[in-house]
Amino acid sequence: MIIKKLKDKLLEKRYRVILVMAFLLITGVVALISRKSEMELRSLPFFPGEFKEIALTFDDGPDPRATPKILDMLYKEDVKATFFVVGKMVEKYPYLLRQIWKAGHDIGNHTYSHPDLTKLSKEKILEELDKTRIVIKKITGRDTYLFRPPGGRYSNKVIVTATLSGYKMILWTDYPGDYGCPSSKPIYQRTVSGAEDEGIILLHNGLDTTLKALPKIISELKKNKYKLVTISQLMEEIREKETVYFEKFEREQKARPLPLEMVVTE
């Protein structure tokens, strides 16, 4: 009887060991399959046609004549955009920046006095960024991490200085040449023809021709199945897709230096 009980206990222990080993084996296989599937998912090629999003951005300003009209158009079309503002213009028209912010648009730093940053010292670059950052935060209560150099002019010194200050430099993929263009038609045509997934459109805040072209631009982009988003939204989407195209914001891209004349109302 004692021997039989000992045998039963030994068999019971063996069964337990076998069950534990089987459980661990199954768990390991499941984890391996899950990890393999995850790795395969992450390595899948990215096809731009999977979604169509594009960011509409406005440089300079705020402008007391043009900004309210732009905001009104965006509101009617239920579109969010990104405004890269100039610090000294914000100081002159703080209520306009407040309107931009309350309407849910992104705000970016376009320096304080709109200089060619490549010709400034590191200290002067920091001054241009900090003065604008302070005035934006004073009005909105929020910092901005978006930055666009005037005219798209930048150097390694500009990039390093801005990056160490917490900024992400944003250029563009689509500039229709609205500054100095005497007609709205080419602005509309160039903008639409240059549109692309994950693209960034650069327009200026304060031009009559741009104001005239804007409703048609928005309408045509929507017709072509584009969703107009802010830079922050676009960056977040690209992160979630886990694609290498996040670097699109920093590529040498299609951004060419622009004239440095600022659209201001003195």
DSSP letters for 34-69: HHHHHHHHHTSPP-GGG--EEEEEEES---TTTHHH
Q: What distance in Å separates the CA atoms of residue 222 and residue 117, rounded to the nearest whole number?
A: 36
pLDDT in tens, the chain (266 residues): 544 444 455 445 555 545 545 544 544 443 443 333 333 323 233 344 455 899 999 999 999 999 999 999 999 999 999 999 999 999 999 999 999 999 999 999 999 999 999 999 999 999 999 999 999 999 999 999 999 999 989 888 999 999 999 999 998 989 999 988 889 999 999 999 999 998 999 999 989 999 999 999 999 999 999 999 999 998 887 765 544 333 444 444 445 667 676 655 55
Q: What distance in Å separates the CA atoms of residue 241 and residue 231, rounded to the nearest whole number?
A: 15
pLDDT of residue 261: 67
Whether 59 is catalytic is yes
Whether 110 is catalytic is no
pLDDT of residue 264: 58
Closest C-alpha to 129, from 98, 74, 166: 166
pLDDT of residue 24: 47
CA dihedral 126, 132, 136, 142 (to 10 degrees): -10
pLDDT of residue 35: 39
pLDDT of residue 132: 97
This prediction's pTM: 0.76
pLDDT of residue 51: 57
Peptide bond into 150 cis (omega under 30): no
pLDDT of residue 260: 72
Could you confirm whether domain 48-249 is CATH 3.20.20.370? Answer: yes
pLDDT of residue 12: 54
Catalytic position from the list 59, 60, 106, 174: 59
156-164 and 122-140 are packed helices; what angle lies between their axes, rounded to 10 degrees?
Answer: 40
Catalytic position from the list 105, 110, 114, 204: 204
Closest C-alpha to 183, from 206, 220, 208, 203: 208
The residue ranges of every structural domain in the chain are 1-44, 48-249
pLDDT of residue 236: 84
Q: What distance in Å separates the CA atoms of residue 149 and residue 86, rounded to the nearest whole number?
A: 11
Q: What distance in Å separates the CA atoms of residue 170 and residue 153, rounded to the nearest whole number?
A: 11
